[in-house]
Amino acid sequence: MSLIALLFSFGFVIFSFFLSQAFKLGLGRDLIITSIRATIQLLIVGYILNTVFGFENPLAMILMLLVMVFVAAKNAAKRGKGLPRIFWKIFLTISIVEIITQGFLLGLQIVPATPQYIISISGMIIGNSMVIANLFLNRLKAELEMRKEEVVLVLSLGGSVKQSIYPILKQSIRSSLIPTVEGQRTIGLVQLPGMMTGQIIAGADPVQAVRFQLLIVFMILFAAVLTAIILGFLIYPGLFNKNQQLDISAW
């Protein structure tokens, strides 16, 4: 795509801006800022990827992956502000999910071990894990606010910390996975996934593109389940103090 064509596509944003102004939606500023931000971020990533793909040294790639996990953890940690060591727990969760998923893909030689594949697929894994971590923390907080009484009841009857929180943890894990599972139900029927569309536009055989997309679907489901479970079990002990009392006042 030429730069001129890209420039023309910015017309969509301008048009949305005027619609927002006309109907007084108050979104104009956000639309412009978001679009410019996306442009700058993607351009920078494009150049970085170009450079990383050029390096022979795998350290450059690992560094890039670490930055991606760091940014994702930083973003998701905002939802858990006040929880002890929340950033590191999310960082660890996403790292484990990334290592296990990539280990599986590369170990079984499902995808070639080249930076092009590893970084692109990692982007999907890490981004998806970040969204799941966000959803999980949101849900856990809401559930705890609603069902605090149940936790205290189980503790008061001599239950352990884990026994008191387990039903809530389970519900939060399930709820955080619903959008991912639901999203895969209509895949291909309503919208074609972005990566598959990209491959088809770039001239790939649609059947090959579908195979690759299926790999991504399975991988995303696995990564989502793993993220919610690991994060759940890393977080729950920090919701209690040493005297086994629910202590979420700082959250």
Partner 1 sequence: MTTEVEFINVSKSYMNQHEAVDVLNGVSGEIEKGSIVTIIGPSGSGKSTILSLCNLLLTPDEGEVRIRGKDVREWNIQELRRRVGIAFQGAPMLTGTVLDNLSLPLRLQGRTLEDPKKYMEFVGLTEDHLSRQAKELSGGQRQRLSLARTLVNDPAILLLDEVTSALDSLSAHEVEELILRINREKQTTILWVTHDQSQAERVGDQTWLVIDGKVVEAAPTKQFFVKPKEAQTKHFLELRREYK
What's phi and psi for 177, nearest 5 deg?
-90, -15
- Smallest gap, in angstroms, from Cβ of residue 138 to partner 1? 22
Structure tokens at 198: 């990209």
To partner 1, the closest distance from the beta carbon of 105 in angstroms equals 40
Site string for partner 1, 146-185 (x = CB under 8 A): ---xx-xxxxxxxxx--x---x------------------
**For partner 1, what does the binding mask look like between residues 109 and 148, x meaning CB under 8 A?**
----------------------------------------
Distance in angstroms (rounded) separating the CA atoms of residues 212 and 15: 35
Do the Cβ atoms of 195 and 213 come closer than 8 Å?
yes
Determine the interface stretch with partner 1 among 46-54, 132-140, 197-205, 236-244 (rule: CB under 8 A): 236-244
**Ramachandran region, residue 188 (left: φ > 0; alpha: ψ -120 to 50; beta: rest):** left
CB of 163 to partner 1, least distance (A): 6
**149: burial class by Cβ within 10 Å (0-12, 13-18, 19+)?**
exposed
Q: Work out whether 21 is an interface residue with partner 1 (CB under 8 A).
A: no
Q: Go through 42-74 and write b for each residue having 16 or more CB atoms within 10 A of its CB, e for each that does not.
A: eeeeeeebeebeeeeeeebbeebbeebbeebbe
Give the whole-angstrom CA distance, residue 116 versus residue 202. 15
Question: Of 166 and 233, which CB lies nearer to partner 1 in the complex structure?
Answer: 166
Interaction between residue 26 and partner 1 (CB under 8 A): no
28 near partner 1, rule: CB under 8 A: no
User: Least separation, in Å, of the C-beta of 165 and partner 1?
Assistant: 13
String marking each residue 75-114 x if it binds partner 1 according to CB under 8 A: ----------------------------------------
Cα separation of 90 and 225, whole Å?
Answer: 14
Neighbouring-strand partners of residue 187: 191
Q: Which residues bind partner 1 (CB under 8 A)?
A: 149-150, 152-160, 163, 167, 241, 243-245, 249
